[in-house]
Amino acid sequence: VLTQSPVTLSLSAGATASMSCRASQTVWQSYLAWYQQKPGQAPRLLIFDTHNRATGIPARFSATGSGTHFILTIRDLEPGDSAFYYCQQRGDRSTFGPGTRLEIK
Amino acid sequence: EVKLVESGGGVVRPGGSLRLSCTASGFIFDDYDMNWVRQVPGKGLEWVSRITWTGSTRYSDSVRGRFTVSRDEAEKAVYLQMDTLGAEDSAVYFCARDNLDTNLKIYYGLDVWGLGTTVIVAS
């Protein structure tokens, strides 16, 4: 089971967002990814293998973690960063976290 | 262009069946595991099923025994046969490419997604 916090994050443009993903047990091989989803769209891969940015993802997005605790950080927030963010682990069965909603004020 | 296109969604009565399809293009389909992920409007993402490039399958607890995932290499397609459908199965169903390199032990994530197909279970 993956849990994400906070549920909602409301920040101003230019600020830094930090959100957490915790697993109930060690994520196998740290096979953890992060996704961004905007309303009406399919999810978009942001981070793979815990800390690697996917193709085309700006350096403002970074991630770290190991074991059961993982963090996604977004610097220099822009209005277009408003979205839901999900973590996902790739074990024998995959699971998603419940998501964090990021609002840019 | 790397692309996934889902089809087969629609309205079905409780207890009924539906078969979703996902057609791939722009990459070597045989090399990849494929997943189904669903989302109730306004809710989060729920992983449903996976079929590996070798044909091994996995299911979430909520669909095991009712859903069957399969793939056809010649058609470059993955399917989700959904039986004994209930209202709780109403959702947008996404097909996603699952990119895992077991040799290098690198998980590249669900790196390609379709736009989804909508399933509504209602009487």
- Tell me which residues of chain A have a C-beta less than 8 Å from any C-beta of chain B: 29, 31-33, 35, 37, 42-45, 47-49, 54, 84, 86, 88, 90, 92-99
CB pairs under 8 A between A and B: 71
How far is residue A91's CA from residue B50's CA, in Å, rounded to a whole number? 11
**E runs forming strands in chain A:** 2-5, 8-11, 17-23, 32-37, 44-48, 52-53, 61-66, 69-74, 83-90, 94-96, 100-104
The residue of chain A nearest to residue B115, with distances taken between CA atoms, is A42
CB-CB neighbors (< 8 A) of B32 in chain A: none
Residue B26, pLDDT above cutoff 90: yes
Residue B75 CB contacts under 8 Å (≥ 6 apart), including other chains: B23
Query: Pairing between strand A69-74 and A61-66?
Result: antiparallel
- Cα distance between residue A85 and residue A98, in whole Å: 9
Q: Note the pLDDT tens digit of each residue in A13-56.
A: 999 999 999 999 999 988 999 999 999 999 999 999 999 999 99
- Given a cut of 90, whether residue B102 has pLDDT beyond it is no
pLDDT per residue over B66-94, tens digit each?
999 999 999 999 999 999 999 999 999 99
CA distances A43 to A84, B44, B84, B85, Å, are 9, 11, 28, 25
Question: Exposed/middle/buried for B26, CB within 10 Å: 0-12, 13-18, 19+?
Answer: exposed
Any idea what the Cα angle at residue B59 is, between residues B57 and B62, rounded to 5°?
Answer: 165
Residue B24 has pLDDT above 90, yes or no: yes
Name the 3-class secondary structure at B7: strand
In angstroms, the CA B89 to CA B73 distance is 27
* pLDDT of B104: 87
Burial class (CB in 10 A: 0-12, 13-18, 19+), A39: exposed
pLDDT digits (tens, 9 = 90+) for B106-119: 999 999 999 999 99
